Amino acid sequence: MLKAHNHHKSMTAAGSFHSHPILHLLFLLLYINPLLAFLLKSCTILYQKIPCDDVFLDCASRELVVIPNDIPKDSAVVKLNSNQLKKINIDDFCDLSKLKILDLGDNQISDVDDGSFKDLVTLKTLKLTQNTLTTLTNNTFQGLSNLTVLDLSNNNIHFIQPFAFKDLTNLQNLDLGRNKIQQVSDIQQIFQLPQIQMVNLTHNLFSSFETKHLLHNFTSNLEELIISSPNMKTFSISTPIFPNLTKLDLAVSRNCTFLNWDIPDKTLLRNITHLYTSQPCLSFKSFQKVLRSLDSLNHLRLNNMDRFIKKELLSTVCIIPTLRKLDLFYNYLNNLTLKLALCSQLTEFDLGETHIKELSKGSIKSMTILQTLSVRANQLSEVPYDIRNLPTLKILNIELNQITKLSCNNFVNTTHLTELYLQNNYITKLKRCVFGNLTNLKILNLSKSNLRKLENVFKLTLHRLEVLNISDNKVTDLETGVFQGLQSIKHLNVASRSIERVKLATFKGINNVQALTVSLTHRYEPDFRGLKRLENLTIYLERVPLLRTDELMNYGAFSKTMLKSLKSIAVICTHNHQDFPLNVPISLLQSMKHLEDFTAENVYVNAPFADIFQFNPQLKSVTFLKTDLSNLDPNLFQKIPNLQALDLSNCKIKALDFMVQANLSALRYLKLAENEISVINETVFHSLPFLTYLDLSKNPFTCDCSNAGFILWAKNQKQTQVANTHQYICFFPADKRGSLLFDYDTLSCWDDSSFFCFVSSSCLVVLTLITSFVYNFLRWQLGYTFHLFRAFLYDSRKRKEGEDYQFDAFVSYNVHDEGWVYREMLPMLEEKQGWKLCLHHRDFQPGKPIIENITDAIYGSRKTICVISRSYLQSEIQMASFRLFDEKKDVLILLFLEEISAHHLSPYYRMRKMLKERTYLSWSAQHPGVFWQNVQRALQAGDAPENSDMLTGPTGR
Ligand SMILES: *[C@@H]1O[C@H](CO)[C@@H](O)[C@H](O)[C@H]1NC(C)=O
Ligand SMILES: *[C@@H]1O[C@H](CO)[C@@H](O)[C@H](O)[C@H]1NC(C)=O
Ligand SMILES: *[C@@H]1O[C@H](CO)[C@@H](O)[C@H](O)[C@H]1NC(C)=O
Ligand SMILES: *[C@@H]1O[C@H](CO)[C@@H](O)[C@H](O)[C@H]1NC(C)=O
């Protein structure tokens, strides 16, 4: 009688845990429209800091073979490039009536159903580059009336039906480069499009391009034509069909036969202002003729034309009176005595990537109205002499050369220079006089060079300089006041691995700086005094040993009055410093009343003090990367109630429990990638009412019923996007390793038959809400009564049958402790000691109700081992089964994984009572040998209670 009574109690207790997720599930199934569900199987909606109606969907590079069917209807941008799509079906993009940009590039699409894009009435850009399309039919682009940009390059298109483009009434830009089009008449329709501006026809198979092959009763609006073909024999514009053509690009085509350039009337090209050529298939003479026929030429680009330039093409070029801009990049011009002096009419001149070793004195001297000059990416060893004689120069680019020193005369007359790019050279020294006359300079880039000292270079010069980058040099010391004089500076980057000392008052006098990037080391004396307008500060911590908290505090350099205007701080430690714990001291953060963004990467060894943000109530975004936060104190977030974005990636986090107490009520973005989370209790998210983006990629998930609640939650609620789910991979149990968490079939976690029965019957009566509830109620009541009865029968039968056990012990544990069970317990008890254990993740029969499985397991095992931890006590399911063990307490072995105070145990009446009556074992990582010996003895012992006093060990309390 007593037994039956107890049984009843344990079963209803178990029932209460069971009914919760089930009701939840039923609720979800009945009321949530799956079309609105927010878990995207293959795509991620990009998080936007400023909420906006446009949805940006990223499905690129995910090995997709079909278009996902769960693309949100309000997507504005969809990236599906770099997948393995082969076909576009008619219903792939239906109803995406807000789509503006669709990228399908870099797939294997050979087939597009007619009308596949017909619903995309707002689409502006469609990219189909790098596919294997061969044919465009009358209806391929049906409905794309708002399309302005269409990229069809790199396909095999050779057949275009005569009305393929008819709907593209707003098309401006069409790229058909690298296809197999042969006849100009095939693309006649393109030139007739009312808004067409640019057509790219490079690398096709035209044997000629002749306007006489086009209809004569229209004029095209085309402005830019890019054309080339290795077999093209004739290029002929003999009819006034392109009155608006201003840009002509005769692009690369190697090994071509000579082209017949046939423009009988040069007024037909009178509007051409831009000519871009790269190895045109023209003879030198015909090319000269072409140049002479262009009366309005303003911008000439000659790439890969060394052959002609050697023949003094420039003498022809430089006498074009209208020419203002000349690009000679991608030529091999070394050893050429360039006849540049004649080009005195230029305002822009690009000599980048021309392999020149020097620009001889006088060669560009006559360009007296030149404003922009680039000699980037050459082999110059000094600044060309003539530059000092170009007083009108505004922008000068000398990056990526081999300049080792700058002299005081280099820029002596270029007083109008506003931008100077000198990065990626080998400059070792700077004298103060070098920039002495550059009073108008706004941008100076000297990064990635060999500078060792700055000394007084910037002192009292460069009054208008706004951006200075001297990062990645070999400077070791930043002296006091070294930047004094840069009174307009707004962006300063002095980060470098070689920094050793940053002296006091280094940044004195640069009161307007808004963004500062700096490297510091252990010997630094950080002093940001005076940076009253600083908003963004990035600190790289270089080399061991580093600043330690006490050291930093002693300098007192971060006084309370400083960095008041700071909005964003990032501290990044660039090396391993396990033995030298660092801290960004509170004194540093104290003054930052307006701080909104905080980032610390690899700075803290362990979780920072909980009061770290007590003075930063404005914080909106917090990022800790590469930090051990396994002991994170939830109080850390107490003082920052406005937090919207939290990124704790790569931080050894095992559980999300801290979220519940953390008061993250404004949080919208949460990223916890690359942690050690295996089980997620979805109720955690109740404490994050505004969460819209959750990224848990690259965690070692357990794919069993312990995550069923989370999976259902993720799939069925509409507010929080669970992002990047293609990276949620099962780690436990071993047989599921490598599969996807969201492919796990949660239905097996509930009783199949009654569940399916319920779902199918409720589908029939969706409208009759009340009926389903009554049905549900009865169904489950019956279910439990049945299990209760069954367990009772089972128990009595087993008793009668005598000891016929399938397992030596059933192990009851919480999934949080699964790591310990698999790592420590299984190898010892099964492999070393030879016991046969029953683990619920491994040995439970799928499809059977959990409670039945547990009952079977307990009665099918000689002993029951409970692995008790705080998580175990908090788990309803374990506690429910614990009540079941109560029935058979004579066979129970209690293993405590961690110290649990009497206070924590107080709510667990049964367990406390049992602990009083029995001995138990406490895990000790220091003495595992003794522990496992004790477990072995306990497993060997018979059932009789008197044996229990054998169980002594390193017990705790
Ligand atoms: C083009 O898009 C606008 C909205 O951007 C829409 O109002 C208009 O109807 C579209 N045009 C056509 C022809 O569908
Ligand atoms: C394309 O459309 C035109 C005009 O509507 C029609 O004459 C032609 O037969 C169509 N081509 C095909 C293959 O349907
Ligand atoms: C034209 O097409 C070629 C080949 O696809 C491409 O490399 C080039 O960048 C295109 N030019 C423009 C201006 O789009
Ligand atoms: C031009 O002529 C073609 C056939 O000769 C005709 O189909 C077309 O409608 C004409 N277009 C215009 C704009 O007159």
- Residues 250-290 have pLDDT tens digits of 876 666 767 788 888 888 888 999 999 988 778 888 899 89
| pLDDT at position 752 over 70 | no
| pLDDT at position 645 over 90 | yes
Cβ–Cβ < 8 Å for 127, 177 = no
| pLDDT at position 552 over 70 | no
Q: Which range, 529-543, 788-802, 857-871, is most confident?
A: 529-543
Decide if 924 is inside a domain: yes
pLDDT confidence of residue 148: 98
* C-alpha of residue 247 to centroid of ligand 3, in Å: 14
How confident is residue 20, by pLDDT bands cut at 50, 70 and 90? very low
Count how many Cα atoms sit within 13 Å of the Cα of residue 786 in the half-sphere of its side chain: 11
pLDDT confidence of residue 851: 62
Per-residue pLDDT tens over the stretch 706-722: 999 999 999 888 889 99
- Please give the tally of structural domains in the chain: 1
CA distances from 855 to 5, 14, 274, 495, 782 (A): 16, 11, 84, 64, 18
d(CA 114, CA 511): 63
Give yes or no for residue 720 CB within 6 A of ligand 3: no
Decide if 808 is inside a domain: yes
241: left (phi over 0), alpha (psi -120 to 50) or beta: alpha
pLDDT confidence of residue 951: 37
| Residue 209, both tokens | 């391009």
Give yes or no for residue 203 CB within 6 A of ligand 3: yes
116-153 burial, b if ≥16 CB within 10 A, otherwise e? bbbbbeebbbbbbbbbebebbbebbbbbbeebbbbbbb
| pLDDT at position 214 over 70 | yes
pLDDT confidence of residue 880: 52
* C-alpha of residue 106 to centroid of ligand 1, in Å: 28
Decide if 801 is inside a domain: yes
How far the first Cα of the chain sits from its last, in Å, is 35
pLDDT confidence of residue 850: 62
| pLDDT at position 120 over 80 | yes
Comparison of pLDDT for 819 and 465, the residue scoring more? 465
* C-alpha of residue 254 to centroid of ligand 2, in Å: 37
How confident is residue 12, by pLDDT bands cut at 50, 70 and 90? very low
| pLDDT at position 32 over 50 | no
pLDDT confidence of residue 543: 66
* C-alpha of residue 115 to centroid of ligand 2, in Å: 14
| pLDDT at position 407 over 90 | yes
* C-alpha of residue 66 to centroid of ligand 1, in Å: 28
Q: Rounded mean pLDDT of 695-712?
A: 93
Decide if 815 is inside a domain: yes
Q: Of all protein residues, whose CA lies closest to atom 12 belonging to ligand 3? A: 200
| pLDDT at position 171 over 90 | yes
Decide if 129 is inside a domain: no
Instruction: Kindly report which listed range (15-19, 37-41, 485-489, 564-568) carries the lowest average pLDDT score.
Output: 15-19
pLDDT confidence of residue 751: 52
Q: Of all protein residues, whose CA lies closest to atom 1 belonging to ligand 2? A: 138
- The CATH number of the domain holding residue 791 is 3.40.50.10140
Question: Residues of the chain with pLDDT > 70: what percent?
Answer: 78
* C-alpha of residue 107 to centroid of ligand 3, in Å: 19
How confident is residue 198, by pLDDT bands cut at 50, 70 and 90? very high
Decide if 954 is inside a domain: no
Q: Rounded mean pLDDT of 113-117?
A: 95
pLDDT confidence of residue 14: 32
Give yes or no for residue 138 CB within 6 A of ligand 2: yes
Instruction: Kindly report which listed range (452-461, 738-747, 843-852) carries the lowest average pLDDT score.
Output: 843-852
pLDDT confidence of residue 8: 35
Range of the domain at 874: 779-948
Q: Of all protein residues, whose CA lies closest to atom 14 belonging to ligand 2? A: 138
Give yes or no for residue 121 CB within 6 A of ligand 1: yes
pTM of the predicted structure, to 2 decimals: 0.74
* C-alpha of residue 722 to centroid of ligand 4, in Å: 55
Work out which ligand 4 atom sits closest to the CA atom of 192: 13
pLDDT confidence of residue 325: 97
Comparison of pLDDT for 951 and 561, the residue scoring more? 561
pLDDT confidence of residue 443: 98
Q: Rounded mean pLDDT of 726-734?
A: 90
Comparison of pLDDT for 493 and 912, the residue scoring more? 493
Comparison of pLDDT for 151 and 26, the residue scoring more? 151
pLDDT confidence of residue 749: 79
560-587 burial, b if ≥16 CB within 10 A, otherwise e? eebbebbbbbbbbbeeebeeeebbbbbb
Instruction: Kindly report which listed range (141-155, 502-516, 756-770, 800-814) carries the lowest average pLDDT score.
Output: 756-770
Q: Rounded mean pLDDT of 895-901?
A: 79
Decide if 809 is inside a domain: yes
Work out which ligand 1 atom sits closest to the CA atom of 169: 13
Comparison of pLDDT for 380 and 915, the residue scoring more? 380
The ligand that comes nearest to the alpha carbon of residue 135 is 2
d(CA 134, CA 155): 7
The ligand that comes nearest to the alpha carbon of residue 145 is 1
DSSP letters spanning 42-100 = S-EEPP-SS--SPEEEE--SS--SS--TT--TTEEEEE--SS---EE-TTTTTT-TT--
The ligand that comes nearest to the alpha carbon of residue 194 is 4
Give yes or no for residue 200 CB within 6 A of ligand 3: yes
Decide if 594 is inside a domain: no
Q: Which of 154, 175, 197, 278 to mutate to test the pocket of ligand 3 (most atoms within 8 A of CB)?
A: 175
pLDDT confidence of residue 820: 84
Q: Which range, 285-289, 416-420, 553-557, is most confident?
A: 416-420
* C-alpha of residue 196 to centroid of ligand 1, in Å: 18
Q: Rounded mean pLDDT of 507-527?
A: 81
Give yes or no for residue 621 CB within 6 A of ligand 3: no
| Residue 337, both tokens | 């005595």
| pLDDT at position 140 over 80 | yes
Among 329, 299, 296, 302, smallest CA distance to 314 is for: 302
Q: Which of 161, 165, 166, 189 to mutate to test the pocket of ligand 2 (most atoms within 8 A of CB)?
A: 161
CA distances from 680 to 159, 657, 672, 715 (A): 54, 9, 12, 14
Tell me the average pLDDT of the chain.
82
| Residue 192, both tokens | 């007739």
Q: Which of 193, 214, 217 to mutate to test the pocket of ligand 4 (most atoms within 8 A of CB)?
A: 217
* C-alpha of residue 756 to centroid of ligand 4, in Å: 65
Q: Which of 128, 176, 226 to mutate to test the pocket of ligand 3 (most atoms within 8 A of CB)?
A: 226
* C-alpha of residue 135 to centroid of ligand 2, in Å: 14
pLDDT confidence of residue 955: 38
CA distances from 133 to 108, 130, 407 (A): 8, 9, 58
Any residues with Cβ below 6 Å from ligand 4, and which?
Answer: 215, 217-218
Q: Rounded mean pLDDT of 227-256?
A: 86
pLDDT confidence of residue 783: 44
Say which residue the tokens 């090994």 belong to: 255
pLDDT confidence of residue 864: 81
How confident is residue 695, by pLDDT bands cut at 50, 70 and 90? very high
Comparison of pLDDT for 562 and 3, the residue scoring more? 562
pLDDT confidence of residue 685: 92
How confident is residue 675, by pLDDT bands cut at 50, 70 and 90? very high
* C-alpha of residue 207 to centroid of ligand 4, in Å: 25
| pLDDT at position 648 over 90 | yes
Instruction: Indicate the helix (H) or strand (E) that contains 730.
Output: strand 730-732
Looking at residue 830, the DSSP 8-state letter turns out to be I
Comparison of pLDDT for 557 and 8, the residue scoring more? 557
pLDDT confidence of residue 673: 97
Comparison of pLDDT for 411 and 881, the residue scoring more? 411
Per-residue pLDDT tens over the stretch 828-878: 888 888 888 887 667 666 556 666 677 777 777 888 888 888 777 766 555
* C-alpha of residue 279 to centroid of ligand 2, in Å: 39
pLDDT confidence of residue 18: 37
Helix axes 876-886, 2-31, angle to 10 degrees: 160
Instruction: Indicate the helix (H) or strand (E) that contains 819.
Output: helix 818-820
pLDDT confidence of residue 168: 97
d(CA 502, CA 522): 10
Per-residue pLDDT tens over the stretch 595-639: 999 999 988 878 888 888 988 999 999 999 999 999 899 999 988
